[in-house]
Amino acid sequence: MKITKICCIGAGYVGGPTMAVIAKKNPNIKVTIVDINEERIVAWNDEDLSKLPIYEPGLAEIVAETRGKNLFFSTEIDETIKESEMIFISVNTPTKTYGKGKGMAADLKYVELCARNIAEVSTTDKIVVEKSTLPVRTAQAIKSILHNTGKDVKFEILSNPEFLAEGTAIQDLLNPDRVLIGGESEDAIESLASVYGSWVPQERILRTNVWSSELSKLTANAFLAQRISSINAISELCEHTEANVNEVAKAIGMDSRIGPKFLNASIGFGGSCFQKDILNLVYIARSYNLNAVADYWEQVIILNDHQKRRFSDNLISTLYNTVSGKKIAMLGWAFKKDTNDTRESAAIYVADHLLNEQANIAVYDPKVNNKKVQADLNYLNTRSEEENNDLVKSYSDPYETSKDAHAIAIMTEWDEFKTYDWEKIYNQMKKPAFIFDGRNILDKTEMENIGFEYSSIGK
């Protein structure tokens, strides 16, 4: 099928950047991103590119280049589905917060609603592409909804999982290691392959069956997260010995079979994918009664929770076992640098733990506002919204944030943190002034020379 119009349902971290790049590289295809969230669509259409709902290096430039030409943002979901030959589903698939599989399985209600919406309004044949990360065999559910419309419309379902990492999404999309397309119909697979073929070499476009494609996505994330939990486990051992985790990571990473990537010891991984995808894998394994397999992968999550808890426990015990009424400055709230995404960010859990000890928290993140910080804490439901609002304040300047603070906790590895006037920060803090570097981005000797009590992960 020749593709002239593409519809993407869901204008989020996956849909936005992916469609922007597809539009840029395929000027002859009209790409429309639709969303039920009107506020989001208005933001995507804002003249002021700094107001785009998603921050991602290089994204604003591509939107500026393509928006209004062949890239459009709209709330006209039905109309756009109707006119398009290919429809991407890029809606959110959060972990279920209720019922069977609570806390483990993916909540597929948004995906199902999309499938029903497509089934209802389509009058011509469509290729439906699942882009959201989905548990294995979701395509089956989408298929069964689409094939039971009673209409004379044919649907082909493809799985095309996203491997982009936030903060480097545009680079990852422009230069992917591989593009994975899973499907039954060769014609449908080739239609999508030709869209990517505009800029991705054919040998990097991998064709598989639907189930392999779905499982590959979960597995890739589980393997990456496993490396972080492995090095984080070693970071604790380093703290009890004379070993330095950066040196250990470098030494083992130089073995080309292991490789240097994903060996940065940290406060623990966050983001919308790793935890969710591993929980999914664990859930699927358990549902087949493969308990040893489930336990094995679950341990990656357990170690990650342990790492976050260990960081806040250490902070509290260092501050003489009490943080009650003390101002703790948190630098960074996003789950990693170069994104405004905060889903599953370690900062949320560390803050929550410190709030249980009645700390006063001051937050500064270059791309995350107070509304988001409050919403993240309220979502945990640990205390009332009023209490969160009382105890947690956000600032737009790191110097204000750290004024009169007892300690600074570095939660995100934003580059700008390294450029601060740390002496100025030191002078306005309570003494002794502590830094807990959850990302190992500052220099220990330099900080100690200024006067800080400095500690980092695994050193």
List, as residue ranges, the binding site for NAD(+): 10-15, 35, 40, 91-95, 132-133, 166, 273-276, 343
Q: Is 414 in the site for ligand UDX (CB under 6 A)?
A: no
Among 73, 196, 269, 349, binds ligand UDX (CB under 6 A): 269
238 is catalytic: no
> Does position 166 bind ligand UDX by CB under 6 A?
yes
Q: Which helix (H) or strand (E) holds 295?
A: helix 291-318
- Tokens found for residue 327: 């101002």
179 touches which of ligand ADP, ligand UDX, none (CB within 5 to 8 A by kind)?
Answer: none
In this structure, the dihedral spanned by the alpha carbons of residues 76, 45, 53 and 34, taken in order and rounded to 10 degrees, is: 20
Q: Which two tokens stand for residue 276?
A: 């969710």
Q: Cβ 90 to ligand ADP, closest distance in Å?
A: 5
Per-residue mark of binding to ligand UDX, 327-346 (x: CB under 6 A): --------xx----------
Q: What letter represents residue 290's amino acid?
A: L
Token pair in block for residue 226: 């496993």
Task: Report the candidate in 22, 24, 172 with the shortest Cα–Cα distance to residue 90.
Answer: 22
Nearer to ligand ADP, 12 or 182 (CB): 12
With contact defined as beta carbons under 8 Å apart, do 39 and 12 qualify? no
Stretch of 67-75, 110-118, 262-270, 393-401 lying at the interface with ligand UDX (CB under 6 A): 262-270
Using the CB atoms, write b or e for 277-302: b if 16+ within 10 Å: bbbbbbbbbbeeeeeeebeebbebbe
Does residue 319 bind ligand UDX (CB under 6 A)? no
Under 8 Å between Cβ of 54 and 206: no
Helix (H, G, I), strand (E, B) or coil at 40: helix
Check 7, 8, 114, 273 and give the catalytic one.
Answer: 273
Q: Please report how close the Cβ of residue 358 comes to ligand ADP at its closest, in angstroms.
A: 33
Buried b (16+ CB within 10 A) or exposed e, 143-174: bebbeeeeeeeebbbbbbbbbbebbbbbebbe
Question: Which residues in the 201-240 window bind ligand UDX by CB under 6 A?
Answer: 221, 224, 228
12 interacts with ligand UDX by CB under 6 A: no
Q: How far is the CB of 14 from ligand UDX (least distance, A)?
A: 8
Among positions 74, 163, 211, 286, the unique one binding ligand UDX when judged by CB under 6 A: 163
User: Read out DSSP for 51-119?
Assistant: G-SS--TTHHHHHHHHBTTTEEEES-HHHHHHH-SEEEE----PBP-SSTTTTTSB--HHHHHHHHHHH
Looking at residues 64 to 93 of the shown chain, list those that interact with ligand ADP (rule: CB under 6 A): 77, 90-92
Closest to ligand UDX by CB, 44 or 274: 274
By the rule CB under 6 A, 114 interacts with ligand ADP: yes
Which listed option, ligand ADP, ligand UDX, none, makes contact with residue 263 (CB within 5 to 8 Å by class)? Answer: ligand UDX
Q: What is the DSSP string of 146-193?
A: HTTS-SS--EEEEE------TTSHHHHHHS-S-EEEEES-HHHHHHHH
# of chain residues touching ligand ADP (CB under 6 A): 21
d(CA 206, CA 344): 30
Task: List, as residue ranges, the binding site.
Answer: 10-15, 35, 40, 91-95, 132-133, 166, 273-276, 343
335 binds ligand ADP (CB under 6 A): no
The reply to whether 13 sits near ligand ADP by the rule CB under 6 A is yes
What is the smallest separation between the CB atom of 112 and ligand ADP, expressed in angstroms? 9
**Sites of contact with ligand UDX (CB under 6 A):** 162-166, 221, 224, 228, 262-264, 266, 269-271, 273-274, 335-336
Active site residues: 273
